[in-house]
Amino acid sequence: MLRKLMISSCLAVVALSGNAYADSSTKVALVPGGPHPYFAAWEQAGADAAKDFGLGSAEYKVPQKWELSMQNQMLESLVTQGYNAFLIFPGDPVGTVAIANELADTGAPVMALAGCLKDPSDALFCMGTDTGNSAYLGTKELLTKLAGGKGKKIAHFTGFLVDPNTQLRIDAVNKAAVEAGAEVIQVIADIDAPEPAEEKINAYLAAHAKDVDGIITTAWVPAVVASNALRKIGDKRIVMVGIDHDKVVIQAIKDGFVHGTMLQNPYGQGYIGSFAADKLRSGCKVKADAPFKTNALTNKFIDSGTVFAGINEADNYVASMQKITKTLLASFEKTYLSC
């Protein structure tokens, strides 16, 4: 009965479900690393989960700046406010471990969401995108489009180097390129902010547009800026694969300037994460033999879904992510938890 309701209530708002459960005392906090459009779906996901599963609350709490200390202070204040389950995007895979462990010590279930903490940590698991693998798959898509990629030259635009994930992405792109016999001729990093991205990407295309066959972007802002830049110079020869679901990128895919984008599943992360948090607070345990995957950071990884969206998927990517979320949720309790 319980499971049935759960499945049917997934995503679609089921009016009755709110009444079907007694309000639990679970207060989930969904805490991103800072203000960023990627996490916007968490707010709705938390609210939906709270309603669908009868949580006390599941709230989206955003640190005002993208700073580790700001996130730490926010998390500490949430403890004082009585939040008792935490879904955290780690400001730094290593740097956030200490605070996550402290939160776990208060008895609250702590999970890394969207990005992982580096093992060892007291986080129960990490549900999100395997950043390295997503970059690898994106590069593969790009090279496939480039007739297999042999001898092709690609450029890689990515985020801040202080974020260890950036190194993982650089390695993954290089690996995919080497495998296909292509060459990464330039990496431009530290441009996950609009002004530097605009300056550097345009300067790069101005000087090297004719030398490059493909572009892979592995951070939000560079994907947006590069999409616009390609539209501006009207170049459909250069094949580009972006990341995430910014409207600019999606539109550029529809208009043929961008080949496709590597989507992630922030809504599903927030929704399933909140569900799991409540289960874990009401006596469930993470199975010792749960079929976790392994990535560069952790061996307790759950893939929340990474899919490539090309021109055919650009219109209905939301539906395809929802499908993944449904599938994941339907078997989540059975697969990962013992209650």
Partner 1 sequence: MNNTTKAADRTADAFGPDVQETSSQHPAMRLLLTNEFGLIALILVFAVLFTLLNPGFVSKFSLFAMGRTAAVNIMIGFSMMVVIITGGLNLSVGSIGVCAAMAAGWLMQSLGLPWYLSLVGGLGVGGALGALNGIVIVRSGLHSFIITLASMSIFFGVMIFLTHAGSFREIAPEVVAPGRMKFFGVISPLLLITFVVAGLLSVLFRFTATGRQMLAVGASPQAAELSGIRVQRMTVWCHALSGVLAGVAGLMLVSRTGAAIPSMAGQLGQDWLLPAFLGPVLGGTLLTGGRASVLGTLLGAFLVTMLTTGLLLLQIAAFWVQTYLGLLLLVAVLMDLLRRSYLARKKLV
Partner 2 sequence: MNSQLANYRESDWFGPLLITVAAIVIVSVFNPEFLSPYNLQILLLAIAVNALIALSQMMIIAIGQMNLSVGAIGGLAAISFGGMMEVWLIPWPVAALLALGIGLFAGIANGVLVAWTGISAFVITLASLSIFKGINLGITEAQPFYKIPEIVKLLGNETFLGPLPWLILPTVVVAVGLWYLLSFLPLGRFILAVGGNAHSAELSGISVAKTVVAAHAISGLLAAMAGIMLVGRLQLGQPTIGDDWLILSFAAPVIGGAVLTGGKVSVAGTLLGVTIVVIINQVLVLFNIDPFLVQVVLGGLILWAVGVNRWREVRAQKTEKRLAA
Residue ranges that bind partner 1, judged by CB under 8 A: 35, 60-62, 64-69, 72-74, 76-82, 91-92, 94-95, 97-99, 102, 118, 160-164, 166-167, 190
Using the rule CB under 8 A, which residue among 248, 324, 330, 337 binds partner 2? 248
Q: Least Å distance between CB 205 and partner 2? A: 8
Number of other residues whose CB lies within 10 A of the CB of residue 201: 25
Residue 194's binding partner out of partner 1, partner 2, none, with CB under 5 to 8 Å set by partner kind? partner 2
Q: Which is nearer to partner 1, 82 or 234 (CB)?
A: 82
Closest CA to 243 of 267, 225, 230, 270: 225
Kindly report the backbone phi and psi dihedral angles of residue 214, in degrees, each rounded to the nearest multiple of 5, phi listed first.
Answer: -150, 155
Residue 259's binding partner out of partner 2, partner 1, none, with CB under 5 to 8 Å set by partner kind? none
Chain centroid offset of residue 297 CA: 15
Q: Which is nearer to partner 1, 55 or 263 (CB)?
A: 55
Question: Cα separation of 313 and 253, whole Å?
Answer: 10
Q: What's at 224, amino acid-wise? A: V
Q: Is the dihedral of CA 274, 61, 189, 307 positive or negative?
A: positive
Q: Which is nearer to partner 1, 49 or 205 (CB)?
A: 49
Q: Least Å distance between CB 327 and partner 2? A: 28
| Partner residues linked to 112 by β-bridges | 88, 126
Compose the 119-148 pattern: x for residues touching partner 2 by CB under 8 A, - for all others: ------------------------------
The CA–CA distances, whole Å, from 259 to 143, 186, 222 equal 11, 20, 15
The CA–CA distances, whole Å, from 330 to 135, 191, 216, 320, 326 equal 28, 39, 34, 15, 6
Using the rule CB under 8 A, which residue among 18, 37, 54, 310 binds partner 2? 37
Q: Which is nearer to partner 1, 96 or 217 (CB)?
A: 96
Using the rule CB under 8 A, which residue among 79, 186, 287, 313 binds partner 2? 186
Closest CA to 307 of 166, 180, 129: 129
Q: Least Å distance between CB 4 and partner 1? A: 35
Q: Which is nearer to partner 1, 103 or 240 (CB)?
A: 103
Closest CA to 113 of 300, 323, 336, 286: 300
Number of other residues whose CB lies within 10 A of the CB of residue 15: 9
The binding site for partner 2 (CB under 8 A) comprises: 35-37, 39-40, 62, 64, 161, 170, 185-190, 193-196, 198-200, 202-204, 206-208, 221, 224-225, 228, 232-233, 246-248
